[in-house]
Chain A
Amino acid sequence: MANSKPVMSMYDAPMWESIGRHRLELQTCSRCARFRYPPAPICANCLSLDYRWHPIAGRGTILSWVIFHRQYFDDHVPPYNVVAVQIEEGPIILSNLVGPVPEGSWIGAEVEFCYGEHAGRMQHQVRLREHSSIAAESA
C-alpha cells in the first residue's frame, strides 16, 4: 500500500498553493466567468483560454456521500467518509466531512470549507454550517 497523492498538473499547482494558504482558489473564465474544476487549460463552456484565479466563497451543499469500509491507502484508515459538494459557484468538489455528521440522509446538508493537515500536506475539508454557527455562538 502507499499514501494517497494529489494529481499535480501545471494547472493544479496554483490551486494547491491556495489550499496551503487556507483559502481555496479556482480559475474563473475571463470571457464567460465560469468556474473551472478541476483546473484546466480551457473553458469547456466558451473555449476561452483566458482565466484568473479567484477565491471561492467556501459554501456548498452535499449532493451525495459514501463511507469507505475498505483500506486502499496508508493515510486513509476506514471507516471514513467522502462527500460530493456542489459549491455556490457551480462546480462539484469531493472532500471529507469533519466534525458532526447529519442525522439520516446527508444529501442537501449545507457545508462550509475548512482546512486541515493530512499526511504532510494541507487539504480542504468541509463541516456542517449549522454546527459551525452554533460553535461560533457558544464561543
Chain B
Amino acid sequence: MRPTSANDQSGAEMRDRNLAKVAAVVGVGHTDWTADHGRVRAGEKPHDSYGYAAIAFTRALEDAGLHRDQVDGLIVGPTTAYERVGELLGIDARWGGQADAMLAVIQACMAIKAGLAEVVALVYGNDQRSASARYGGADPVGGGAFLSYVYHAPWGFTSQGALYAMMFRRYMAVTGITEADLGQVAVAQRLAASRNPNAIMQKRITLDEYLSSAYVCEPLHLFDYCLINDGGVALIIAESSRARRIRLDPVYIHGVGRSDLNHGATSLEPRLFDFYRPAQAQSAEQVFNMAGVGPADMDVLQVYDSFSCHIPLALEGYGYCKIGDAGRFMREDGISLDKGLPINTSGGHLSESYMQGWNHQIESVRQLRRECGERQVANCRYVHYSSDVAGKAVSIIYGR
C-alpha cells in the first residue's frame, strides 16, 4: 500500500498526503445512551434529535476546554437541519455544512486545510427510536437517497439488513465463510460491550446463543443487526498547531480515503459481483499512503457495523487478510479485545448503540487517549475507521 518508488516522491505522494495531520480531535462528547434507552423503553421521550445534539455538543466543548465563541465551523449530522442547530447553539460559523459521520470528519479537515475554519464542531443527534423510525417497509429511512432501499419492495425486499443478507448469502457461497464464522463478530463485540458502561447491551453471548437466535432475514440473525436507539455525539476538530495549544493529547487525523461504487447499485451489482472490494482497495490505498502506515500498524479497527457482515468484508477489502480468508481470520486469529485484532472496541452498532458511525469516531479518540478503562487496548497508537455503506468506502486513520 506504500508508494512503490522512492524517486516518485514529489507529485503524487505530496498530493496523497495533503490532509495528513492537518487537524486533530480536541474534544468528544455523547449523551447518556443507557439511561435514555431505559427511559424510551418506559415510554418517555427524553429529548428530540436537536436536544441530543445540543447535549453532546456541550460535553464535547467542555472536554476540549473551549468556549462556544471559539468555534468557527459547524457540521451537523444527517437528521437535523444545519441552520436550526447553529441557531440553537448560538454559532454563526464562517464555514458550515451537513454530512454523515465519516464525511463530516473529512470535510472538517478540508475546510481547515483550505483556511476556511480553524475550530470545527461536528454535531449529531438522532431520536430514531422514540420517533419510531422505520428502516424497512413503506417509506423507510434512506429511501430518498438510495433507490435500492425501495425499488424491490413489490417483491417484499426491504430493509437494509435484507440487502446485506442477499450479499452475505452469495459471499458465503463464494468464500466458504459460515454462519458460525460470522457469529464471531456478534460474540466479540458483545464481549467489548460487557466492558463498556456506555453500551446498551452489556450481557455477553455465546456462539451457540448466536446460532440459535432467530433469523430476521436469513441468513442474518437478530444479533447481526444494529441497535436502533436515541442519542447524540459531538466532536471538536481543530487545526493541528491550534490543537496542540488547546490540549496536551490531541488525536490527529493521519489519513482519509474514499472510493464509491455507484455502477449498477440499485440492482445490487457492487454487492453481488464485487462485495465492495474495488472501492475498499482504492480507499485503503489512499488512506494508508496518506498516513504513511499500513494494516499491520493498526492497533484497533473500527468498522461501521450496521450489520455484522461489514466486518469480514472490511478485513478482506482493506488488506487485513487475504481475499476469501476472513472466516478463518475471525475464527482463528481473533477479532476481540482478548485475542487478535480488536474490532469495534466499544461494542459498535451491534452492542453499544447505532449512532450511525459517530460513536466509532469518539471511541477511536478515547482509545488513543487511553481513557477506555477495562476495554482499553494496550499501547494504542493507531486506529483505523472504515465504513462501506452501500459501497461507498470511506476510511480514516486516527493516531497520536
- Distance in angstroms from B265 CB to nearest chain A CB is 10
Most buried by B among A37, A69, A80, A91: A69
Residue of A nearest to B154 (CB): A6
Q: Which residues of B contact A6 (CB under 8 A)?
A: 153-154
Q: Tell me the chain A residues, 99-122 only, with Cβ under 8 Å from chain B.
A: 105, 107, 118, 121
Q: Tell me the chain B residues, 201-236 only, with Cβ under 8 Å from chain A.
A: 214-219
Contact of B165 among A66, A80, A91, A121 (CB under 8 A): A66
Contact of A2 among B137, B162, B214, B269 (CB under 8 A): B137
Bound complex: CA A105 to CA B157 (Å): 20
Q: Are B217 and A118 in contact (CB under 8 A)?
A: no
Q: Which residues of B contact A5 (CB under 8 A)?
A: 138, 153-154
Residue of A nearest to B165 (CB): A66
Q: Are A4 and B267 in contact (CB under 8 A)?
A: no
Per-position binary interface string of chain A over residues 61-89, scored 1 when its CB falls under 8 Å from any chain B CB and 0 otherwise: 00111111110110110001010100000
Bound complex: CA A94 to CA B267 (Å): 8
- Confirm or deny: A95 has a beta carbon within 8 angstroms of a beta carbon on chain B: yes
Q: Are A65 and B166 in contact (CB under 8 A)?
A: yes
- Confirm or deny: A18 has a beta carbon within 8 angstroms of a beta carbon on chain B: no
- Confirm or deny: A92 has a beta carbon within 8 angstroms of a beta carbon on chain B: yes
- Confirm or deny: A13 has a beta carbon within 8 angstroms of a beta carbon on chain B: no
Which size bracket describes the interface of A in this complex?
A: 35 or more
Contact of A67 among B167, B173, B215, B268 (CB under 8 A): B215
Bound complex: CA A105 to CA B264 (Å): 25
- Confirm or deny: B272 has a beta carbon within 8 angstroms of a beta carbon on chain A: yes
Contact of B156 among A4, A65, A105 (CB under 8 A): A4
Residue of A nearest to B156 (CB): A76
- Confirm or deny: B158 has a beta carbon within 8 angstroms of a beta carbon on chain A: yes
Q: Are A73 and B157 in contact (CB under 8 A)?
A: no
Q: Are A73 and B263 in contact (CB under 8 A)?
A: no
Q: Which residues of B contact A3 (CB under 8 A)?
A: 138
- Distance in angstroms from B226 CB to nearest chain A CB is 15
Contact of B158 among A72, A93, A95 (CB under 8 A): A72
Bound complex: CA A4 to CA B173 (Å): 30
Q: Are A84 and B272 in contact (CB under 8 A)?
A: yes
Per-position binary interface string of chain B over residues 319-361, scored 1 when its CB falls under 8 Å from any chain A CB and 0 otherwise: 0000000000000000000000000000000000000000000
- Distance in angstroms from B179 CB to nearest chain A CB is 13
Q: Are B158 and A4 in contact (CB under 8 A)?
A: yes
Q: Are B153 and A73 in contact (CB under 8 A)?
A: yes
- Confirm or deny: B370 has a beta carbon within 8 angstroms of a beta carbon on chain A: no
Q: Which residues of B contact A65 (CB under 8 A)?
A: 166, 169
Q: Which residues of B contact A63 (CB under 8 A)?
A: 170, 272
Bound complex: CA A93 to CA B219 (Å): 20
Known: A5-B153, A64-B167, A123-B154. 19 other contacts (CB 8 A): A1-B137, A4-B154, A63-B170, A66-B165, A66-B166, A67-B217, A69-B215, A72-B137, A73-B153, A75-B156, A82-B155, A82-B157, A82-B166, A92-B272, A94-B155, A94-B267, A96-B155, A107-B170, A121-B154
The interface of chain B, by Cβ under 8 A from chain A, is 136-138, 147, 150-159, 162, 165-167, 169-170, 173, 214-219, 263-264, 266-269, 272
